[in-house]
Structure 1
Amino acid sequence: MTSKEGRNHPSSHVSFPEPIGRRFIRLGMELYAAHVIIGRNQPALFVLTSSSSCKTQNKKNTIRKMSEKPELLSPLKAVIIPGNGGGTVESSLWYGWTKKRLDKIADFQCLLRNMPDPYTARETIWLPFMKSELQCDARTVIIGHSSGAAAAMRFAEKQKVYGIILVSAYTSDLGDENEKASGYFNRPWQWEKIKLNCQHIVQFASTDDPFLPWSEQQAVADNLAAELHKYTDRGHFQNTEFNELVSAVKNLITASQ
């Protein structure tokens, strides 16, 4: 019944909308209560709906979700990306020696493989190999030496990894045709993306490197805010043992625990 007489009749069951002024006051009180529950220093999220039947449990779930932090993944493996030049990497420089020692760490492994296109080390070949064959991912520490360091940095521009350890890293092709053909140096480095995709960045560099000017090694450290291990007598790190590197990997594992 919609007549004036029906609306004024005591037995009528017709209901009326809540006055606008009263509705705003009630809504303001609800928002203030939610603010008190969440806390002044916590971000607040308020969802306005057409219904006033919000459940208490839904409010608790919202508050819980806002306070949760993303879980930080711990590393499960290291992957050594060697410099270019070919040969059997297991018996080259410190690669095999390091793998054996990292394999002894509980619940951890180290992968070391002969790379395709070993002399030119083309980015278009190495990076897909790192993703599909070596399965570099968010729980991987990539150890890159020389050309392998360039590959590690380019990989981290696009993929999340636990960390990268750069040995003898540089920023340009140094006027070398083979380095130019690799493809790593044909565009600017995306330093911010690398930092965003890595929880940890460690660098080993030496001022007496016969192939790399110190300015390029320092540029890597500066742009990536790397944990720099600077030496004056290690050259291009072509030794057969690398205790400091093993310690660096162990420190990254410890940092995740």
Structure 2
Amino acid sequence: MSEEYLPGKAVIVPGNGGGNVELCLWYGWTRKRLEQIPNFTCLLRNMPDPFTAREEIWLPFMESQLKCDNRTIIIGHSSGAAAAMRFAETHKVYAIILVSAYTSDLGDENEKASGYFSRPWQWEKIKSNCLHIIQFGSVDDPFLPWHEQQEVADNLQAELYKYTDRGHFQNTEFNELLSAVKKLIPTVS
């Protein structure tokens, strides 16, 4: 594989909710560890419109500010997973890693306002624009029914890491995610 197609960076797209994402959940922990990989970088930024996470704001930010491209591994959590999937409908990326991904607004007005769920998912376009699709989900997620997480995995033919005890992945460390990213980087053993 030519160097132009090797992953050069990861971008962590957080879930909605606001606050300093560097201090939130596993995001900063993961960024610090990925930054230790030679010739690799990891971006983590406070997103604009952090509470509603509107697609019309987040996707342009991912393109223009985070510079997501065909050498980027997008790690999306919750609303960030929805953003990663919608981004990959229209942009080539090296990989998407989806954590707590879902397919509908779940009857929630804020989720509906985000815009991600206003039209059918373009599963085939997402698959054709990503070299790798990995998904982490847990059947005990208090916010997302398992059938929606499974729908994502089935439609994207994702490499699925299915848990029974991880909830919404709100822990402060995420070793399995770190290992998954490292496997995608050919220069890391």
Displacement, 1:256? 9.8
Match of 1:102 in 2: 34
Match of 1:244 in 2: 176
Q: Aligned with 2:5: secondary structure?
A: coil
2:165 pairs with one of 191, 209, 233: 233
Match of 2:97 in 1: 165
1:195 and 2:141 matched: no
Number of aligned residue pairs: 189
Cα distance in structure 2, aligned partners of 1:168 and 1:238: 10
1:156 and 2:101 matched: no
Match of 1:145 in 2: 77
2:15 pairs with one of 83, 87, 93: 83
Please give the TM-score of this superposition, normalised by the length of structure 2.
Answer: 0.97
Q: Which amino acid aligns with 1:244?
A: E
Larger radius of gyration: 1
Q: Which amino acid aligns with 1:177?
A: E
Calculate the aligned-residue CA RMSD, in Å. 1.6
Percent identity over the alignment?
A: 78
Please identify which structure carries the higher strand content: 2
Q: Which amino acid aligns with 1:250?
A: K
Displacement, 1:208? 0.3
Q: Aligned with 1:143: secondary structure?
A: strand
- Alignment of structure 1 residues 103-118 onto 2, 5 Å: 103-118=35-50
Contact 1:207–1:232 (8 Å) recurs in 2: yes
Query: Deviations 1:148-196 (Å, cap 9, x if unpaired)?
Result: 0000000000000000000000000000000000000000000000000
Which consecutive aligned stretches of 4+ in structure 1 deviate over 6 angstroms post-superposition? 69-72
Contact 2:182–2:188 (8 Å) recurs in 1: no
1:73 and 2:5 matched: yes
Displacement, 1:100? 0.2
Q: For structure 2, which runs of at least 5 residues remain unmatched after alignment? A: none
